[in-house]
Chains A and B, each alone.
Chain A
């Protein structure tokens, strides 16, 4: 009795759990995602039906044809009619399954006549967005994880959108066909928004595409889904779908910000100003490997604190940061960061921890090295 009660409570608890936790596909926000949900539910119903039927047979055998109840073994081992039936019937079921799926496959591949085209670039470990065509053309930004290190390392309570928040969200208008071109700068990544049923690997040196048309406004979150090295789990994708008016407003604001923050490469900056800016750049781009302590990870990622290179001539360090180190995780940041950001982060590393260069590097010096 007690055992039964305990079992009952356990089952109830499990049911409650299943209600509390997310256990099914995320709510669909596009026609394709709705189709995928429909297909999934239909196929699941079908296979559950077959599963119950087939294993009903097994459990009936286990129940009725036991030796312990005195069942004597029959000796049949062939039956052409039955064998033909269980080959042909599944074949027919498969055709029934394949037909509606084929229609969705064709619709999902049709990326023609897009209203807006956006190029998404996978970079270790962030996403670059370039608005190529349609309203917002020319907008370009990099989208990096916004969750603080303290939350990841357990020194601060985790926020609601832990690991699913970025500094710059991709913004698109509702009800417009958006074509996304995916590519990558280093290794293969994969861009995915479950609510749109849209996933495409981002392959370095190649451009692939997908499309989606959001049916409702809102913020849709996801993550990179192809193992891309150390911080694969830390490069979220956030898409904010807004009304057409809000989108126009966002585009205008982006253009204004771009004009305002366009750093004047000829301006000269003070050491503290550069260090402060550099610390932020470091936290967003470098800390994953070289660590907040600047000590790196032994045998995997070199230390910057006390490093020969960082304490050596500044142009050598700048060149490495600009061009990266082929064959390692050290990316060519020249493509990702502005002259000011590069000057700032290099200045920061040369003046942080026990490094004491005491000298500021100006954006103009970076610009000169780029040639």
Chain B
């Protein structure tokens, strides 16, 4: 195998590495997919911390009934910005970071297809994030309308709302450019012999996700532009007095918003589909059915959006259609879960941290899937809509789903990226603390929701006090556990043990088998020839 190792053996000219720049300018001007992947990942981690602090402000206020720490207006700003920052600033960029690092190495390409556009798609993000944060300092503060930005509440907001709208525009542009880049790279730059059905599952999930992004981000941009125009240019898209309809906004938003759930979930499925076979020492079960299940989920995700709107009022035929379509999604999702379990079945399992996070994902994501099934039923949803049950449900999918998968990905690929191992003991602590405190925080929210606690309230009736206390304690534990993650990553970078060429014996995609560890700055400048697939 070493014969095909792309060892990048020629003389080390620094210009060759970093485009002639050092220091900060290296990062500003870089067109290297690995540098850009790193930028995405650090950006995402910073946003994760910022959004996390906002979550802790929310949980601190909710620790006991009454208003103690923040006023209701600021509370609403916190829930809004926590949601926007976590979805658009933390989770999405994290998976784009993985895509940048891994896709070229997994398909045998030297870099992304549009290297300069890649640089631009990243560097838009810090500006978008700054706009979001700046909105706090505008008259009236940041918008307090929830991350869904429902009209016509948005029309009442101050200038912070406009900054948020522009931030969403920028984030959308970044995502669309990133997706076009990923699509083009996957479709055009695969090494000879790397047929579509030989690609690692992570690449497949990103191929489908990129299509979803290209299809839905413009829809979101349209929705917020209509809001902007209602606010300032006298239109009435969402104003009944001028012939518009506030519910129209919800339809447009969720036509983006539901596929968005899978934009976040599918790359997470991809990471899990790399990790579980590696630590089971057994090929992924049902590769072809995984591909069809992923495609099926993506297609179905376009016809279920109104299940977020059962209480907005729609005809009985509409409610039934969206309920049946939503139930259908359980089938391909179930196929994926069964495939992962069958991959483990009669494997030779070990439980390093990436595997622990993958198992945590599998267990808790399925739990979130089941509460999703409960919520898909119209009468039950009408009872639970806009309560903490929904909050618990989507945190099981977004945190235990996407975030756990992101942690699994970082621990799995970190040795390949930096050539050093993380501290396994501390990383396992990170897993167990995260796992335990996640459940302390969010499991009890199911009960509060069932008992009738609405979402997005800064103060609550006395009967919900117990659950909120437990949840707040869990949230602070969860928050501090993430500082441990930061420490583990920094420690690995500074003083981690040198990683062997193949630290995970079961990992068999070409980034592990054909490249040295750490991966050199330029890889696969000569395309490898692929003779077999997974």
A interface residues with partner B (beta carbon < 8 Å)? 17-18, 20-26, 32-33, 35-36, 39-40, 43-44, 47, 50-51, 54-55, 57-58, 61-62, 65-68, 71-79, 82-83, 86-87, 90-91, 94, 97-98, 101-102, 104-106, 108-109, 151-154, 158, 160-164, 186-188, 190, 192, 194, 197-201, 203-206, 208-209, 221-234, 297, 299-300, 327-329
Contact = CB atoms under 8 A, between A and B. Distances in A.
Nearest to B458: A233
Given A154-B67, A162-B462, A197-B382, A227 B145 contact: yes
Given A58-B362, A228-B153, A300-B73, A206 B240 contact: yes
22 contacts: A18-B447, A24-B447, A25-B452, A57-B345, A58-B363, A65-B348, A66-B351, A71-B347, A75-B283, A78-B288, A83-B335, A94-B328, A101-B323, A163-B460, A199-B383, A223-B454, A232-B456, A234-B459, A297-B71, A299-B139, A300-B73, A327-B231
Nearest to B287: A77
Nearest to B346: A74
Nearest to B464: A22
Contacts of A199: 311, 382-383, 385
Interface of B: 65-68, 71-73, 76, 139-141, 144-146, 150, 152-153, 155-156, 158, 231, 239-241, 245-247, 280-289, 311-313, 315-316, 319-320, 323-324, 327-328, 330-331, 334-335, 337-338, 341-351, 359, 362-363, 366-367, 370, 373-374, 377-380, 382-383, 385-387, 447, 450-452, 454-467, 470, 506
Contacts, number: 298
Report which residue of B281, B335, B348 has the largest number of chain A beta carbons within 10 angstroms of its beta carbon.
Answer: B348
Contacts of A55: 363, 366
Given A73-B347, A230-B73, 4 more contacts: A54-B338, A58-B344, A73-B280, A158-B462
Contact of A24 (B338, B451, B454): B451
Contact of B350 (A66, A108, A225): A66
B320 to A, nearest CB: 6
B152 A204 contact: yes
A216 to B, nearest CB: 18
A101 B307 CA distance: 15
A303 B312 CA distance: 36
B149 to A, nearest CB: 11
Contacts of B370: 47, 50-51
A94 B330 contact: yes
A198 B379 CA distance: 9
Contacts of B287: 77-78
Contact of A106 (B153, B241, B316, B460): B316
B347 A300 contact: no
A32 B367 contact: no
Contacts of B341: 54, 57-58, 61
A225 B366 contact: no
Nearest to B232: A327
A234 B174 CA distance: 39
A203 B285 contact: no
B451 A227 contact: no
Report which residue of A73, A164, A224 has the largest number of chain B beta carbons within 10 angstroms of its beta carbon.
Answer: A73
B295 to A, nearest CB: 14
A94 B311 contact: no
B321 to A, nearest CB: 11
Contacts of A25: 383, 450-452
B436 to A, nearest CB: 13
Contact of B334 (A17, A75, A90): A90
Nearest to B333: A90
Contacts of A194: 383, 452
A61 B156 contact: no
A87 B66 contact: no
Nearest to A70: B348
B457 A233 contact: yes
Nearest to A193: B452
A90 B332 CA distance: 10
B380 A328 contact: no
Contact of B373 (A47, A87, A152): A47
A295 to B, nearest CB: 13
A192 B139 CA distance: 34
A164 B452 CA distance: 12
Contacts of B382: 36, 108, 197-199
Contact of A208 (B313, B348, B458): B313
Given A101-B378, A190-B311, A83 B459 contact: no
Given A36-B380, A58-B363, A154-B66, A66 B285 contact: no
B305 to A, nearest CB: 16
Contacts of A108: 378-379, 382
Contacts of B379: 32, 35-36, 39, 101, 104-105, 108, 197
A78 B285 contact: yes
Given A227-B150, A232-B457, A77 B282 contact: yes
Contacts of A33: 383
A200 B323 CA distance: 17
A2 to B, nearest CB: 20
A188 B466 contact: no
Given A24-B451, A152-B66, A188 B152 contact: yes
B461 A229 contact: no
Contacts of A17: 466, 470
B359 A62 contact: yes
Report which residue of B72, B145, B245, B362 has the largest number of chain A beta carbons within 10 angstroms of its beta carbon.
Answer: B72
A302 B473 CA distance: 36
Contacts of A62: 344, 349, 351, 359
Contacts of A68: 350
A258 B413 CA distance: 73
A227 B466 CA distance: 23
A76 to B, nearest CB: 8
Nearest to A47: B370
B467 A21 contact: yes
Contacts of A234: 72, 459
Report which residue of A40, A86, A222 has the largest number of chain B beta carbons within 10 angstroms of its beta carbon.
Answer: A86
